[in-house]
Amino acid sequence: MNSLKSFIEAAEHILVIQAENPDGDSVASSLALESLISDNYPNKRVTMFCNLTVPAHLRYLKGHDRVVQDFPRDFDMAILVDCAEEVLIEKTLRNPDAARLNKVPVLILDHHQDKIHMPFETINFIDENAVSTGAVILNLAKKENLQVGKDTATFVLASILSDTLGLSLDFVRADDFRTVADLTDLGASMSEIDQARRELNKRPQFITKYKAELLGRVEYLLDGRLAYVHIPWEEIQQYSGIYNPPILVFEDMRLTEGVQVVMAVKSYKNGKMTAKMRTNPGYEVVGAVAAKFNCGGHPGSAGCKVEPGMYSYEEFKNELVKCTREELDNLSTTKELNETE
């Protein structure tokens, strides 16, 4: 039987690869694996690679700065974490040095449904019952009697908290709390992770003031079902580099009674415009709204953009509001029909 251990033991230089749009689980599981390998096999070399620098909001994970953007040439094994689909590492694969992935063993550690699609052979360790790739790593380590130290436990815990939004999602089971209890025994601390994240998310005073201004400008349209805010170019220029304006206010907008959909439109200097949309549970219509502008996303979280000259600001806004009304009305008609049946 192939074990994670046997592959690690056979390699000298292990490359850990993350998806190009890394989330908390990507970065934390990568760090968990690095620390697991270096604790158990101090002589192995581990390089963590991601095509992008770690996004600012994930830099609470200590060691994130060891993730490199230069694809190494001399690795003799690779492990893909939280990433089983080719599209997730498209840019990485365009690098000529990535051809080496055809020549060395490549492992996939993931917790997503088994739909592996890579242009090279892979050895797959998929655990669909695990809530994060970090948890997949922990389960393998336990099964194969690898030592799990405090740092590894901390990264595994961070990966679980990230993929379960702090253990609050509906798929979290009693076993996941037992795992968290085990990780706590190993030295991981939920409050330390939370504090590091809060510290990192602190913002300058002028951003908090700007948030108040933005909240004051929110319009409640469609009888209060749609909360809408506009961010003009001057504000994008002034604030976007420090804090993405919609993210500052979306939660408050969603936490307003009666609101079903929240939307922020940004107008750029050249006439390009974008809309970012989220919904409250039960009103997942924004994927359909984005589709009307030939853009995509998830039913409950989507975005769209229009090229310069296609619409004036007022036209774009009216069109978005109209589409949202239609989709919400469709939704209530469907609900009523289901109730009468």
Smallest distance, Mn ion to C-beta of residue 154, A? 17
**Least separation in angstroms between CB 75 and Mn ion:** 23
The closest of 277, 280, 275, 278 to 257, measured between CA atoms, is 280
x/- site string to Mn ion, residues 66 to 95, per CB under 5 A? ----------------x-------------
In the complex, the smallest distance separating the C-beta of residue 9 from Mn ion, rounded to whole angstroms, is: 26
Helix ranges restricted to H, 128-244: 133-143, 150-163, 174-185, 190-200, 205-217, 233-239
Dist. CA 322–CA 255, nearest whole Å? 23
Nearest CB to Mn ion, comparing residues 19 and 146? 19
**From CA 116, how far away is CA 124, in angstroms rounded?**
8
131 vs 273, beta carbon nearer Mn ion: 131
**Residue closest to Mn ion when measured from CB atoms:** 25
Using CB under 5 A as the binding rule, whether residue 163 contacts Mn ion is answered as yes
- Which SS3 state, helix, strand or coil, does residue 302 take? strand
Beta pairing, strands 106-110 & 77-81 = parallel
Using the contact rule CB under 5 A, the part of the chain among 25-33, 87-95, 220-228, 262-270 near Mn ion is 25-33
Give the CA distances from residue 189 to residues 91, 175, 195, 257, 313, in Å, rounded to whole numbers and listed in that order: 36, 18, 10, 35, 48
Q: Which of 25, 34, 151, 327 binds Mn ion (CB under 5 A)?
A: 25
Q: Please give the radius of gyration of the chain, using alpha carbons only, rounded to the nearest integer.
A: 23
For 114, half-sphere exposure in the C-beta direction (CA atoms, 13 angstrom radius) is 8
Question: CB of residue 158 vs Mn ion: minimum separation in angstroms?
Answer: 12
Q: Which is nearer to Mn ion, 134 or 246 (CB)?
A: 134
CB of 81 to Mn ion, least distance (A): 9
CB atoms near residue 145 (< 10 Å): 8
**How distant is the alpha carbon of residue 223 from its chain centre?**
33
Residues 100-159 that bind Mn ion (CB under 5 A): 132
In the complex, minimum distance from the CB of residue 160 to Mn ion, in angstroms, rounded to a whole number:
10
Site string for Mn ion, 200-229 (x = CB under 5 A): ------------------------------
Chain positions contacting Mn ion, by CB under 5 A: 25, 82, 132, 163
